[in-house]
Amino acid sequence: MISLIVAATENNAIGKDNKMLFHIKEDLLFFKNTTINKTIVMGRKTFESLPGVLPFRKHIVLSRDKGYNVENQQVEINHSLEEVLEEIKFSKEEIFIIGGEEIYRQILEKNLADKIYITRIYKTVEDADTFFPKIDEEKFQIVDKKVLNKEAIVYVYENISK
């Protein structure tokens, strides 16, 4: 199962200058609890924006740079989304795509996501430079909702078109 997990504003902004827009304690805890002991897939820029390798998770990092390397047993480098999909196609576990914009877009365009966990941050950021794609509500429907605090609500969507 492929799931996307993201925190986005009302206008779908998710980042600026290769950094997350917000660090909301409750959302970071939700992310940790949801992805712990799972595989997380991300682009190189997203990986490099992390404070380090996230404990208790296998990291799959996508990079077009064939020479890109990370010296850590928890991190595997792949050079195309197709490579990643081939590797995970028989997995029974939930695999999390954690960013960035380009990977989210490719997964949604190919209709590969089974689930989306989106923490909706009820703020607008005018100068954001990275955005989560619009969710196609003909393919996805909300199946769960969890209020984290007065500014953030997690919505869980499931793909109803697969």
Q: Report the percent of the chain where pLDDT is more than 90.
A: 94
- Contact between 88 and 94 (Cβ < 8 Å): no
pLDDT in tens, 74-106: 999 999 999 999 999 899 999 999 999 999 999
49-75 average pLDDT score: 95
Q: Please tell me the predicted confidence (pLDDT) of residue 86.
A: 93
Contacts (Cβ under 8 Å, ≥6 apart) of 60: 39, 40, 41, 42, 76, 78, 84, 87
Question: Which CATH architecture describes the domain 2-159?
Answer: 3-Layer(aba) Sandwich (3.40)
- Confidence at residue 162, expressed as pLDDT on a 0 to 100 scale: 83
pLDDT digits (tens, 9 = 90+) for 110-120: 999 999 999 99
Q: Would you list the domain boundaries of the chain?
A: 2-159
pLDDT in tens, 17-51: 999 999 999 999 999 999 999 999 999 999 999 99
Summarize the confidence of residues 61-81 as an average pLDDT: 95
Global confidence as pTM = 0.95
